[in-house]
């Protein structure tokens, strides 16, 4: 039986959250996916960007004809953003990923950021072994406030599921079924799930300075997703753990930090179990600087523009 269909989503702003040319940084992501992803791995690759940047982003990405790229305004996917113009870019990225099930039809969706890139030949069955989405775990103690805030938002115990393990960061693979269930749980009689989350981040509103709001404000897309999936007993149905004897591949390798001591030959080599790596935008490194280090490992690719 063939693996279920898979989409992808990428929240994108031309200059990024740190003014580091995230549109040009996508050349690295797209070149790596074009080189390493088997044809038809993705059904749709949705790039979500501010409405006034859609035309420029669509034109810039038009060279990547082997990828099923569609560009959409973030205000169309998440119209609630129009009522919260001061929302930070990091929060918008998370809302866009949670909103992927509003637009995409495949059962699973892999999430990307502009600073992620593929590291080895990858098929849909690598990402969805046995028809389930690969999941990578990390210790919840790394970011305890994420888990505490998300548990409070969902009215759950922080210890639900395995209390020591949580879901790792982007790239991740999300189930549409779980996302739809999460959206229903977060929504209220008055507000959509996205507005419920946006209303936690109104710096000039009196409610922003209450203890109750503060204790819920550190949520992330993946801590909400994982806790809800555990609460409805959906993890084993839709996900499979990577890094095991049966499923040795994992989603993300962290060996590119610190950049100065990174050995990319390992990252792109046969002994690396990670399907993706990232050089964080926070590093301030230009796309050209990153490409100078990794370009030789990505077949049939041109230098970043």
For the record, the structure tokens of 119 come out as 């590291």
Tokens found for residue 209 = 């300075």
Which domains can be identified in the chain, with CATH numbers? 6-297 (3.90.550.10)
Phi and psi of 257, rounded to 5°? Answer: -120, 125
Which neighbouring-strand residues pair with 6? Answer: 108
Decide: 167 and 97 in contact? Cβ < 8 Å.
Answer: no
| Tokens 């792109």 sit on residue | 268
Q: Report pLDDT for 251.
A: 98
State the pLDDT at residue 183. Answer: 98
**pLDDT recorded at residue 204:** 80
CB atoms within 10 A of CB 137: 16
Q: What is the pLDDT of residue 86?
A: 86
Four-residue CA torsion sign, 11, 131, 225, 115 = negative
Strand partners, 111: 9
- Low-confidence stretches of the chain (pLDDT beneath 70): 1-2, 16-20, 303-305
pLDDT at residue 64, rounded to an integer: 95
Cα distance between residue 138 and residue 38, in whole Å: 28
Rounded alpha-carbon distances, angstroms, from residue 61 to 65, 117, 220, 288: 9, 16, 28, 17
């Amino acid at each position: 039986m063939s693996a279920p269909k898979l989409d992808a989503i990428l929240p994108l702003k031309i200059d990024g959250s740190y003014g580091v040319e995230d549109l040009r940084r996508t050349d690295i992501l797209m070149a790596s996916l074009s080189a390493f992803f088997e044809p038809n791995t993705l059904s749709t690759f949705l790039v979500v960007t501010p409405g006034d940047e859609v035309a420029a982003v669509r034109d810039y990405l038009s060279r990547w004809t082997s990828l099923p790229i569609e560009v959409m305004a973030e205000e169309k996917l998440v119209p609630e953003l129009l009522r919260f113009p001061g929302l930070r870019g990091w929060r918008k990225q998370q809302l866009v990923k949670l909103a992927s099930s509003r637009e995409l039809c495949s059962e699973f969706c892999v999430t990307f950021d502009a600073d992620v890139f593929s590291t080895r030949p990858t098929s849909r069955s690598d990402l969805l072994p046995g028809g389930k989405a690969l999941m990578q775990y990390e210790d919840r103690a790394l970011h305890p406030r994420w888990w505490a805030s998300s548990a409070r938002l969902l009215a759950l115990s922080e210890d639900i599921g395995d209390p020591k393990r949580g879901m790792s960061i982007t790239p991740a693979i999300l189930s549409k079924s779980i996302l739809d269930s999460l959206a229903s749980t977060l929504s209220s009689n008055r507000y959509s799930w996205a507005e419920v989350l946006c209303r936690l981040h109104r710096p000039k509103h009196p409610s922003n300075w209450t203890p109750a709001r503060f204790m819920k404000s550190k949520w992330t897309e993946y801590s909400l997703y994982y806790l809800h999936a555990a609460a409805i007993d959906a993890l084993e149905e839709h996900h499979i753990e990577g890094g095991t004897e049966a499923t040795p591949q994992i989603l993300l390798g962290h060996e590119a930090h610190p950049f100065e001591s990174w050995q990319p030959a390992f990252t792109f080599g046969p002994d690396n179990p990670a399907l993706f790596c990232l050089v964080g935008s926070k590093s301030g490194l230009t796309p050209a600087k990153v490409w100078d280090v990794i370009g030789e490992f990505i077949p049939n690719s041109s230098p970043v523009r």
